Amino acid sequence: MTIVIERVLVSEIHRTPLVLVSGWSGPTDTVARSLLRDDTVVVHHDLDLVHEGVVRRTVTTMESGRERTRVGILELAHGCISCTLREDLLPLLRRLHARSSVQRIVLHLDRRLEPEAVCWAIEHVVVSGVVGQLDGTASRDVRVEAVITCIDAQSWLDDATGDEALDDDRTVAQVAVGQVDFADALVVSGSAGDGWQQARLHAVLARLAPGAPIAWDVDGLDVERLLMEIPSGARRGELTNAHSPLLRGQPPLSHDCGVMIVEFSANRPFHPERLHEAIDVLLDGVVTARGRVWVATQPDEALWLESAGGGLRVASADRWLAAMTPAEQDQLPTARRAMAALCWDERFGDRHSSMVVLVHAADPSDIDRALQWALVTDEELADEAAWESWPDPFGQFHEDPCDSSESPYAEPDSSREGHE
């Protein structure tokens, strides 16, 4: 047992700490540069020229007390931003780790990038061909020390609750919400307006990134101290999936300035057409909603529902345990099997629906009423044989606003890979 513990400690010591600085708006450049030291390197990929087929990479170091920046121009690999960043960023992280002069790496993300997608790549994408190193993921050589997200107090909530689309299949709201949701610490610049607007913004952030320390004064900001204030239980790049707990970090459940978390759960399925009609309540006055969904017409499939601002999608989240063989169940993480056992039903197994909704200008009772209405009735529950004949708008999964021309659906885990 002692030997195993020592190996873990040695592994942590020899991995280079990595700090990710992200944000759709806010002082990301200021925060990243403030972390520059003699033993720290700052890496940034600028996507402003992506439409011209190139990405601009800068690597900044401190040498003899002076900053030195090296600039490189990268051609888009496969016409894909994410592939280009992986093929350049991940090998670069492994090479920087090998330098004795580099004791910390700061990754200053372009505002279009989500830190969760980058952490997914670090953890899962195998890097080969790095001279002097075995093939493997970048997580062999770097560990995420912290994710810092920067926001502009005046514009962030509008961005996070709007429906502006990006050039890919994402929205600004999805990016803005995802960056804060994955943060270990927040830096807020400017003012949201009057005292009530500032309090409302704080209430949203406290529920979206519970436990994350928030720095409100950029002028007097000490980022190194902010890093030390991150609690020991912070995510630090830890990835979750659709079957992880929906309430992370013990967020406040009270009502504050119109902001609160609405929890919904049900042990009977949704009627697909009524659910399709009811989900509009998750798009108005809501910052984000997420959860597992059981639709009567898909008894084997656990669906994942996720919204940000005015956009929503429903995708596959693997099968329910009740639809798996014992051998397949044995391959699943112990935590998921234990949670399923706690709510196991003799008729339906672990099938259920569970959602959390972060509202800022919506009536929680309206949300609960609409979702309750979408569940199957007692009569429908008794006639299970009829379920498969019902029309199913979620047959190929779903995105809102509805688009009949194409269905760019992807499973939640694969979407973390971040193709753009």
Q: Is the pLDDT of residue 79 over 60?
A: yes
> Rounded CA gap, 329 and 321, in Å?
6
Domains identified in the chain and CATH numbers: 15-228 (3.40.50.300), 260-412 (3.30.1220.10)
In the chain, the percentage of residues whose pLDDT exceeds 70 is 91
Neighbouring C-beta atoms of residue 151, cutoff 10 Å: 29
Out of 7-16, 164-173, 256-265, least confident range: 7-16
pLDDT at 401: 58
Please say whether the beta carbons of 282 and 146 come within 8 A. no
Highest mean pLDDT among 4-13, 45-54, 102-111: 102-111
DSSP helix/strand/coil, 93: helix
Average pLDDT over residues 241-263: 94
**H-type helices in 145-232, by residue range?**
156-160, 172-181, 195-208, 223-228
418: pLDDT confidence band, cut at 50, 70 and 90?
Answer: very low
Q: Is the pLDDT of residue 15 over 70?
A: yes
pLDDT at 64: 81
* Bridge-based pairing state of the strands 54-63 and 16-22: unpaired
Neighbouring C-beta atoms of residue 373, cutoff 10 Å: 13
pTM of the entire structure?
0.90
The pLDDT tens digits for 123-182 are 999 999 888 889 999 999 999 999 999 999 999 999 999 999 998 889 999 999 999 999
Average pLDDT over residues 366-371: 98
pLDDT at 80: 80
The pLDDT tens digits for 224-241 are 999 999 999 999 999 999
DSSP helix/strand/coil, 84: helix
